[in-house]
Amino acid sequence: MSADPTTHFGYKTVATDEKASKVAEVFHSVAAKYDVMNDLMSLGVHRIWKKMTIESAAVRSGQRVLDLAGGTGDLAAAFSRKVGETGQVVLSDINDSMLKVGRSKLADMGILGNVEYVQANAESLPFPDNYFDCITIAFGLRNVTDKQKALESMARVLKPGGRLLVLEFSKPVHKSLSTLYDVYSFTLLPLMGKLIVNDSESYKYLAESIRMHPDQETLKGMMETAGLDNCNYTNMTGGIVALHKGFKF
């Protein structure tokens, strides 16, 4: 864990060793309707963001892919088809409720043979050094207690020549968009959470956690500090979301 005895949980300050359990409570609460809420919250645009991430991963037959904070398995399902029978996809999440939903969803899709499910903390990944050709983490890094430690753990298990992709909410590039986004995030999101999941607090946390996440340039610098090279990012939807990419050489 971080050496700092406190950290943020949304806008609240909590003990560092309590954050993971508090984040777990959020995702236990929303797991069953996570996909429904994603479609509603983003008006379906999250599917485009994820499609761009999958294309940027450039995964090939026979490769090993780790989908961290993989939740309900959208990326893992696509990677499973791309790596084929000779490849391997590991769908990993710290939250067992999310992992169970993902496993059930992929089984219903007929995806069985080349996907493994591992409950793990991104800060201390239980995999060998230089193991994966590609690692993705979509909308999960902001929930990690020690983000720098997690990025270093990802870099460790990435093969030389491999790539890490971080898809995450970020900072809108235009002030007018930022203002509208704030109104949406702090008014409509908790209301949707209340109506659909009967949980407004989890979606209030979602909005706050996005605002506490490092901006585009800061996250790029953190990836470089973790030992990744050629780090860059692409803004999507005006910077509401950014896709960061880094390589291990």
As annotated, the binding site for S-adenosyl-L-methionine includes 72, 93, 121-122
Question: What residues are designated binding site?
Answer: 72, 93, 121-122
Helix (H) or strand (E) holding 245, with range, is strand 241-247
**Phi, psi (rounded to 5 degrees) for 37:** -65, -35
Beta-strand runs (E) in 72-194: 88-93, 115-119, 132-138, 158-169
Neighbours of 5 (CB within 10 A): 9
Neighbours of 212 (CB within 10 A): 12
State CA 28 to chain mean position distance.
16
Helix (H) or strand (E) holding 77, with range, is helix 74-83
The DSSP annotation for 174-241 comes to: SHHHHHHHHHIIIIIHHHHIIIIIS-HHHHHHHHHHHHHS--HHHHHHHHHHTT-EEEEEEEEGGGTE
Q: What does DSSP assign to residue 117?
A: E
How far, in Å, are 62, 75, 93, 170 from residue 108 at the CA level? 23, 15, 19, 33
